[in-house]
Amino acid sequence: MTDSLFYFTLGLFSIMSQPVDVSIVFAGDAMQHIAQVNSAKRAGDLYDYSECFTEVKDYVSSADYAVVNFETTLGGKPYTGYPCFSTPDSYADALAAAGFDLFLNANNHTLDRGYKGLIKTIETLDKKNISHIGTYVNKSSREMSVPYIKNIKGIKIAFLNYTYGTNGIKPTNGVKVNYIDTLQIKQDIVKSREGGAEVITVAIHWGEEYNLLPNRSQKKLADFLCNQGVDLIIGGHPHVIQPMEIRHSEKYNKDCLVVYSLGNFISNMKTTDTRGGAMVKVILERNVLGKVKIKTANYSLVFTLQPDGKHNYRVVPVESEAVKSMKWQCSQFVKNAESIFSKHNVNVKRESAK
């Protein structure tokens, strides 16, 4: 090898081996109860959610990629809240404008408006160019769409999404919902690797509502996913926070993040533990040897402020001055969340307030 070729090769290797960081933010259950719909209503047929996410927009949009659990449908009128949700299309616009890149649709409310509601939700998100996973118009669509692999700054990350059920409503007319099925999940993980994924994320709807600790089935499924080489496990459904941990997989010689529940991102729920939730920011690193690993995982706490005559529902960091209107309720939410996290979290700490 000539000297010039040697130095060219050395320079090329140096460029290719520069460390790369990728940040991903995960948010919890984005609910839409009827009180939220009514609060967003303006003149005519306009529903304005623009104020709801103003205080967290910078945090969300500053990440390289952001993911939220879209726990409602865009099923059309009449708009409804619990127990069968259907939400104005502008709600999806507001979440996307806040910086969310990927909506998780596999949850227990995805069939609240049945076959037509699921189809309309998918078609509306597609028209708005909002990426989404977990539900599909038919079998062939699922086969083409799973896994969803996103190349973020040169790191290929697979996102998979599953739910424990759909409130007893069964899919009809060939639509597909990703239910928790370990055989199917294992096949999707293998397909993700075959598709070039270097990081595998499983967002999963599981657990028991309002319980601050994971149950046995959650722990068992988390063990299964880690043993399959999954890197990030992000849970939703309980509507309250649950512990987070980074554990090391000897089998794959890498770390696995398990977040049992992020709680509510926004909702009209009013018990202490349902008034807020956590957002997790994961930093993935490709080191100089080309290996991708979890560099850090930290959480921040958010709280939903009720309308006060001047403002709509608002998601705010718990450190925000705006919480003064609900200072006691917010302090109780933080107290309970921190009690759980301080006792049960492993290697996942609270992000310093900015």
Q: Return the bridge partners of 131, or none.
A: 102
Q: 3-state DSSP call for residue 37?
A: helix
Q: Dihedral angle at the C-alpha atoms of 120, 121, 126, 132, nearest 10 degrees?
A: -150
Angle of CA points 183, 187, 188, to nearest 5° = 115
What is the reported pLDDT for 70?
Answer: 98
Residue 349 contacts residue 298 (beta carbons within 8 Å)? yes
Residue 287 contacts residue 294 (beta carbons within 8 Å)? no
Chain-centroid distance of CA 150 in Å reads 15
- pTM for the structure as a whole: 0.94
- Tell me which DSSP letter residue 173 carries: T
Write the DSSP string, 222-283.
HHHHHHTT-SEEEEESSSSEEEEEEEEETTTTEEEEEEEEEBEEE----SGGGSEEEEEEEE
Half-sphere exposure for 246 (CA within 13 Å, toward CB):
16
Write the DSSP string, 313-344.
-EEEETT-GGGGGGHHHHHHHHHHHHHHHHHH
- Tell me which DSSP letter residue 11 carries: H
CA distances from 128 to 61, 90, 136, 149, 160 (A): 18, 10, 16, 20, 21
CA distances from 276 to 73, 293, 331 (A): 21, 30, 11
- 102-104 vs 131-133, strand pairing mode: parallel
What is the reported pLDDT for 126?
Answer: 98
Cβ neighbours around 291 below 10 Å, total: 11
**pLDDT tens digits, the chain, 354 residues: what are they?**
555 555 455 454 444 557 889 999 999 999 999 999 999 999 888 999 999 999 999 999 999 999 999 999 999 999 999 999 999 999 999 999 999 999 999 999 999 999 999 999 999 999 999 999 999 999 999 999 999 999 999 999 999 999 999 999 999 999 999 999 999 999 999 999 999 999 999 999 999 999 999 999 999 999 999 999 999 999 999 999 999 999 999 889 899 999 999 999 999 999 999 999 999 999 999 988 889 999 999 999 999 999 998 899 999 999 999 999 999 999 999 999 999 999 999 999 999 754
The amino acid at residue 332 is: Q
What is the reported pLDDT for 14?
Answer: 46
What is the reported pLDDT for 43?
Answer: 82
Cβ neighbours around 75 below 10 Å, total: 23
What whole-number distance in Å separates Cα of residue 19 and Cα of residue 288?
Answer: 5
* The 241-249 sheet, strands edge to edge: 148-152, 155-163, 199-205, 232-236, 254-262, 241-249
Q: 3-state DSSP call for residue 148?
A: strand
What is the reported pLDDT for 309?
Answer: 85
What whole-number distance in Å separates Cα of residue 76 and Cα of residue 123?
Answer: 12
What is the reported pLDDT for 139?
Answer: 97
Is-cis flag, bond preceding 78, omega within 30? yes
- Alpha helices per DSSP H over the chain: 3-16, 34-40, 57-61, 90-97, 114-127, 139-145, 182-194, 216-227, 327-344
